[in-house]
Amino acid sequence: MLKNATQFHIRPARPEEAGLFYTPHPEEDKRLGTVGHVRMDFGRSGNEFWHTWWPRGPEELNSPVFKAELQEVVDTLRESVLKNRFAMERFCYEHGGKISGGWTQNYGYVVETEHYRYCLRCNPSPGDYNGYCTAYDLDVQRQNMAQDKPLVGRVSYANGDAQEFTDAEAFLKCVREELPYRPTTGFRYEVLTDDPVVRKAVDDIIFDFYGEEAPCQQEDHEPRPEQGMTFGGM
């Protein structure tokens, strides 16, 4: 973990965190407690600093306390990775943090405080926006996750976008609608539930798409005891 000039710590993103650095479905923003993101650009010279705030959550999350901390975090990062385009390029080269998604290589860094997580996506290439800093309210996120229903499925795309589903019908609808565009979007799905009805429905969608009949019946998707497991008494 890298320590900066103040109490904030910045660390390179892990590959599985790539989805946190891009704009997901609004439902996922709500679940993660997304407050919004700052879009940043160093201008043509590479030494300017243009920035715009984009809210992505309820207005009450954009509180004075949050605004003050966000300002402090950005001011701190301006001393290193956000100093200018050259400094960003050097920082990314020295500290890693490569994440998938985007038309060019992007780098991700995370700053986490007691109540917020800031995910900074860096693109040191000229001719595009150079940074996006997405802020998440950890208190809201923890509360939502404690109340979450079990996940039934997850989908992802080649550009790094991802979405998780707790509603079976919404998951099946997404698979059905996105499957035809898989060659161009890199659409992938993962069934996370053991519910045989859902697993059979996904199979039916896949086989129907390819013009075949699903070979399995619903009972074939029923959970089976692990090998060696016994039932009953002694």
Q: The tokens 């800031």 sit on which residue?
A: 118
How far is Cα 9 from Cα 209, in angstroms, rounded to an integer?
48
Domain locations in the chain as residue ranges: 2-144, 149-217
Per-residue model confidence as pLDDT tens digits over 102-144: 788 999 999 999 999 999 999 999 989 999 999 999 999 888 8
Confidence of residue 161 (pLDDT cuts 50, 70, 90): confident
Residue 206 pLDDT more than 80?
A: yes
164-201 per-residue burial string, b: 16 or more CB within 10 A, e: under 16: bbbebeebbebbbeebeeeeeeebebebbbebbebbbb
How far is Cα 165 from Cα 202, in angstroms, rounded to an integer?
14
Mean pLDDT of the chain: 87
Confidence of residue 158 (pLDDT cuts 50, 70, 90): confident
Mean pLDDT of 202-206: 93
Mean pLDDT of 150-165: 85
pLDDT score recorded for residue 223 = 53
pLDDT score recorded for residue 232 = 30
Per-residue model confidence as pLDDT tens digits over 16-61: 899 999 988 888 999 999 999 999 999 999 999 999 999 999 999 9
Per-residue model confidence as pLDDT tens digits over 211-224: 876 565 545 545 55
Per-residue model confidence as pLDDT tens digits over 53-92: 999 999 999 999 999 999 999 999 999 999 999 999 999 9
Residue 153 pLDDT more than 60?
A: yes
134-161 per-residue burial string, b: 16 or more CB within 10 A, e: under 16: bbbbeebbeeeeeeeeeebbbbbbeebb
Task: Choose between 42 and 5: higher pLDDT.
Answer: 42
pLDDT score recorded for residue 150 = 82
